[in-house]
A and B are shown apart, each in its own frame.
Chain A
Amino acid sequence: MDDKPLSLRESLADQVKSITGESVANCYQCAKCSGGCPLAEDMDIPPSQLLHMIQLGLPELDERVLNSLTIWLCLTCETCVTRCPKEVDLPKIMDFLRQESLKRGLINPQAKKIIAFHKAFLDTVQYTGRLYEVGMTADYKLRQPQTAMQDVFTAPKLFMMGKLNLFPHMIKGRDQIARIFARTLKKEAKK
């Protein structure tokens, strides 16, 4: 946390505004988003409350938002924004919060598995150009060894059904894909 006085400090709400264009002040707390969210009851902070915490603009609340499990459980099913009477694009804000949480290293311990999955997924895309399911699963299990035994009985069945490609498909434009990753993901991480 920086030492600037509160009035001069850039709050999460300010960042949301400048990066996503969404103003959290538009939300009048009707809680329709929490009502329709399929996973609200499994989140540590329901979506409407998370938005309220950002509205308040206090550094300790900003940190709690970034540290929440909520932002990683959000499935981006877009139910909230579809029903929001003020059209606050919560999924867009969630995308930003996840990226900011990674950037600041404020990560909820229970979200580590989910982040490991995303990294494993993108790794295979980065190197082959497409999703390589077997490689992704292996990568994910290496990052999260406690999941090693999960789905071990499904895999052989999938293979028998011809649903599992043992080898990746390498696209021709892999160099181009590598440059796309370097110019986006890596660049953004350094910002």
Chain B
Amino acid sequence: MKLGYFPGCSLQGMDIDFNESVFALARRTDLHLIEIPDWNCCGSTSAHNVSHLLSLALPARILALAEKAGLDEILVPCSACYQRLMTAQHELLENDELRKEVVDIIEMDYKGTSKILNIIEGMVKIFSGAELKIEKPLNAKVACYYGCLMVRPPKVMKFDRAEDPQSMDELMKKFGADPVDWPFKTECCGAGLTLTRTDLVCKLSAKVIESAIKNGAEIIIVACPMCHANLDMRRADIEKAAGKKYNIPVLYITQAIGLALGINEKELGMHRHFVPFVLPEQPKAAPSAKPAEPAKPEVGEKPAAGAEE
């Protein structure tokens, strides 16, 4: 399977482990990722805070480059990038005058033909057709943390349910995990205030962690690099602010899947976590979570060569 790929800045820097785990899965599943040539930053929170036009033009250049490269579908693992690209696409396709203005600004044509996939949609696409070879079912209670950006605003994102999304929970079940029902699935971790108002980020992130633990989760699964950075990298600050210790590890959805497929931890970038992850003991008896029924093989599609890096 071939997919366009937009890693975004976080996955090239602080959240390189997310990128590593995406590529580890790509190698395992014969997914061929084609990076958008010469991509730029989507502008993230900072752009839309200071200029509406800039917040549209930066993602528009990325999407225009993808179109030019003939990429019909682009996988965007970072939720912040995903939301900015979706928002730009939504606004530009709704308003032709605005689209023309932005086309002039970026000096490239933009039609809006490339479909944007978030990491959950990407995983569903890759694994719905493939036969699942689950070597180590996760066998743990997990809290699927979608974060705020992936499902909201529903009119623009058009993905899953805005208050109680299920797609990641369903995916995790397939890989032998037991997703808990918890109320903080789409609460905000504090995201972009991490450097400027660390106190607030710690407060919000502590609430997320507390809720996951209270509802019996042993692992928090995230789909967003900001959520990971705040829940994992900021853990010492969070603990200091809350006055207690939390041991619950935070894994990217791609790392959790990779572990279930038996990919080694180093390849998945697991050594780059601040909060260490220890695999739950595998029960001697037959695992309660049976490695979901093998999905029917996809018709027609012949997987292409390995992933390119």
Main secondary structure on B side of the interface with A = helix
Q: Is the CB of B61 within 8 A of A75?
A: no
The answer to whether A161 touches B271, judged by C-beta atoms less than 8 angstroms apart, is: yes
27 A-B residue pairs with Cβ-Cβ distance under 8 Å, sorted by A, are A75-B191, A77-B191, A82-B152, A82-B154, A95-B48, A95-B49, A95-B55, A96-B52, A113-B197, A114-B193, A116-B196, A117-B192, A118-B46, A118-B49, A119-B46, A129-B40, A130-B41, A131-B10, A131-B13, A150-B198, A161-B271, A163-B15, A163-B16, A171-B39, A173-B61, A176-B61, A184-B105
Q: Which of B15, B152, B197 contacts A78 (CB 8 A)?
A: B152
Interfacial chain B residues near A158, Cβ < 8 Å: 14, 233
**When chains A and B are docked, how far (Å) is the Cα of A91 from the Cα of B62?**
24
Q: Given A161-B272, A173-B40, A176-B106, A98 and B49 touching (CB < 8 A)?
A: yes
CB B146 to nearest CB in A, in angstroms, measures 12
Bound complex: CA A162 to CA B266 (Å) = 13
Whether, in the assembled complex, A79 has its beta carbon less than 8 Å from a beta carbon of chain B, the answer is yes
The reply on A86 being an interface residue by CB < 8 A is no
- The answer to whether B13 and A184 touch across the interface, beta carbons within 8 angstroms, is no
Chain A residues near B186 (CB, 8 Å)? 79
The docked-state distance in angstroms from the alpha carbon of A97 to that of B239 is: 34
Query: What residues on B are CB-neighbors of A78 within 8 Å?
Result: 148-149, 152-153
**Contact status of A173 and B50, CB under 8 A, knowing A73-B197, A162-B272:** no
Partner of B50, one of A151, A165, A180, A185: A185
Residues of A within 8 A of B (CB): 38-39, 42, 72-73, 75-79, 81-82, 89, 91, 95-96, 98-99, 102, 113-114, 116-119, 121-122, 125, 129-131, 133, 137, 140, 147, 150-151, 154, 157-158, 161-165, 169, 171-173, 176-177, 179-181, 183-185, 187-188
Complex alpha-carbon distance, A133 and B9, angstroms:
9
Contact B107 A77 (CB under 8 A): no
Task: State A77–B185 Cα separation when bound (angstroms).
Answer: 13
CB-based contact A117/B196 at 8 Å: yes
Q: List chain A residues, Cβ under 8 A from B274.
A: 157
Complex-state Cα separation, A133 to B194, whole angstroms: 13
In the complex, whether B12 has a CB less than 8 A from a CB of chain A is yes
Question: Which residues of A sit under 8 angstroms from B113, Cβ to Cβ?
Answer: none
Question: Are A38 and B38 neighbours in the complex by a CB distance under 8 Å?
Answer: no
| A-binding residues in B (CB < 8 A) | 9-10, 12-17, 38-41, 43-55, 57-58, 61, 104-107, 148-149, 152-154, 162-163, 186-188, 190-193, 195-198, 200, 204, 233, 271-272, 274
CB distance from A182 to the nearest CB of B (A): 9
Using Cβ atoms and an 8 Å threshold, which residues of chain A touch B105?
179-180, 183-184
Asked if residues B233 and A154 are in contact (CB atoms below 8 Å), the reply is: yes
Given A75-B193, A117-B195, A150-B198, A180–B106 Cβ distance below 8 Å?
yes
Interface residue from A82, A125, A150 paired with B40 (Cβ < 8 Å)? A125
CB nearest neighbor in B for A187:
B53
Known: A79-B188, A171-B38. 6 other contacts (CB 8 A): A77-B148, A77-B188, A116-B196, A117-B196, A122-B47, A172-B38
B residues within 8 A CB of A130?
9, 12, 39-41
Contacts of B233 in A (CB 8 A): 154, 158
Interface contact B46-A79, CB-CB below 8 Å: no
In the complex where A82-B153, A129-B40, A131-B44 touch, is A181 in contact with B148 (Cβ < 8 A)?
no
Q: Using Cβ atoms and an 8 Å threshold, which residues of chain B touch A96? A: 52
B125 to chain A, nearest CB (A): 25
- Bound-state Cα–Cα, A180 to B13, Å: 24
Docked complex Cα distance between A95 and B46 (Å): 10
B200 and A39: CB pair below 8 A? yes
- Contact: B188 with A75, CB < 8 Å? yes
Q: Which residue of B lies closest to A177 (CB)?
A: B40
